[in-house]
Amino acid sequence: MASPTRTHSKIGKRALASGNGKVSIRPGDRPIGVFDSGIGGLTVLRALVEVLPNEDFIYLGDTARLPYGTKTSEVIIRYSRENTEFLLAKGIKMLVVACNTSSAVALDAIARDTMIPVIGVIEPGARAAVKASRSGKIGVIATEATVASGAYTRTIQNLRPGAEIYTRACPLLVPLVEEGWTDNDIAERTVSHYLESLKQSGIDTLLLGCTHYPLLTRMFQQVLGRGVRVVDSATATADAVRRRLDELKLARRGARGKQSFFVTESPERFVRVGRRFFGPQVESAVRLER
C-alpha cells in the first residue's frame, strides 16, 4: 500500500465523484469502510452490524503491523493513511476508524485528507462515559499511545469541564484477549494490577478505550464491583454512524447487508480469533498483496 497524502485526496475525490452520477451505483448503496490495527475492531463492527443491519461493510485489519498502541504517532499516522487509502479505493461512502489508537492519534490527519465522512471512536466513547458517570470521576484504560495522546482526557473535559479523569495504559491486555485468556486467574491478576490505582481514585465509571477490552468486561466488573459502570465506545460509535448516515441521507435500504474482511497478514488466524470477537460470520479473510 503506497501512502502519500496527496494520493488520499485524489482517491477521496474520486470516491466522492461516484456520488455525483459518474458511476451508476446509488451513493447510499456503497459500503462503509472500517479499519483497525488488527482483530479488535471487530467489536466495533459487531455493534455497527447490530445497529445498521442493511449496510455493507468492508473491514481491514492491519494484522501484519499490530500492535499500533506501542508505536510512535508518526508511524500510526502513516499506517492509518495507508489503511484509509485502501478502503477509499473500494468506493466506500463513509470511514469508521475502529481503532482507538488510530482515532486518538491520526483521525484529524485522515479527515483532512479525505472527502468522505470519517468517524472515530474517541468522541462517541467519551460521550458514553460522561453520560454514564454521576460523580465525574472517570477512569480510562487504553494502549500506551492512546493514553499518551491525551485524546480521551481532552474530549471528556470538553464535554464535562471539571471531570476528574484517571488514565491507565494496559499493554498486556491486548495479547491476553487475543490468546482467549479472558476468564482465568492470569487475566484476573493482570486486570487487578492495572485497575488498582483507578479503584483507589474512586472512579464511578470505567471507559474501555481499546478495541480488545470489551471481551474482558465481565472481568473488569468483577474486579471493580457493581458500583462502577463499565462502558465501551462500540455501541456509541455505531449510533454516531447511524445518525450521520441519516443526516447525509446515505443509509442503505433493502436487503440485509454483508461484511467482507481484508487483512495484511495471517487470514487463518484472523478468522479463528475473529470469531470470538464477531461471531461465526467471519468465514474468510483476504490477504492484501503488497
Q: Does 100 bind ligand DGL (CB under 6 A)?
A: yes
Look up residue 226 and give its three cell numbers: 457493581
Q: Residue 234 or residue 250: which is nearer to ligand DGL going by CB?
A: 234
Question: Cell numbers 485497575 label which residue?
Answer: 195
Among candidate residues 122, 210, 263, 271, the one labeled active-site is 210
Q: How many CA atoms lie within 13 A of 265 on its CB side?
A: 8
Q: Residue 77 or residue 250: which is nearer to ligand DGL going by CB?
A: 77
- How near is the Cβ of 144 to ligand DGL at its closest, in Å? 8
- How near is the Cβ of 104 to ligand DGL at its closest, in Å? 8
- Cβ-closest position to ligand DGL: 69
Q: Residue 94 or residue 98: which is nearer to ligand DGL going by CB?
A: 98
Look up residue 190 and give its three cell numbers: 493482570
- How near is the Cβ of 14 to ligand DGL at its closest, in Å? 28
Q: Is 94 helix (H, G, I), strand (E, B) or coil?
A: strand
Q: Does 101 bind ligand DGL (CB under 6 A)?
A: yes
Alpha helices in 52-150 (DSSP H): 73-88, 100-113, 122-132, 144-149
Q: How many CB atoms lie within 10 A of CB 80?
A: 25
Could you tell me the strand order of the sheet in which 229-232 lies? 164-169, 137-142, 205-209, 229-232
Q: Does 266 bind ligand DGL (CB under 6 A)?
A: no
Binding mask 45-84 for ligand DGL (x = CB under 6 A): ---------------------xxxx---------------
Q: Does 119 bind ligand DGL (CB under 6 A)?
A: no
Among 15, 210, 241, 271, binds ligand DGL (CB under 6 A): 210
33 and 138 in contact (C-beta within 8 Å)? Answer: no
- How near is the Cβ of 205 to ligand DGL at its closest, in Å? 19
Q: Does 36 bind ligand DGL (CB under 6 A)?
A: yes
Q: Mark whether 170 is an active-site residue.
A: no
Rg of the chain over Cα atoms, rounded to whole angstroms, equals: 18
Q: Residue 5, class by beta-carbon neighbours within 10 Å (0-12 exposed, 13-18 middle, 19+ buried)?
A: middle
Residues 160-179 close enough to bind ligand DGL by CB under 6 A: 174
- How near is the Cβ of 187 to ligand DGL at its closest, in Å? 17
How many residues touch ligand DGL under the rule CB under 6 A: the total is 16
Closest CA relative to residue 70, chosen from 142, 145, 122 = 145
77 and 123 in contact (C-beta within 8 Å)? Answer: no
Among candidate residues 44, 66, 99, 115, the one labeled active-site is 99
Per-residue CA distances from 91 to 6, 56, 65, 84, 94 (Å): 17, 12, 24, 11, 9
Q: What is the set of active-site residues?
A: 99, 210
Site residues for ligand DGL per CB under 6 A = 36-37, 40, 66-69, 99-101, 143, 146, 174, 210-212
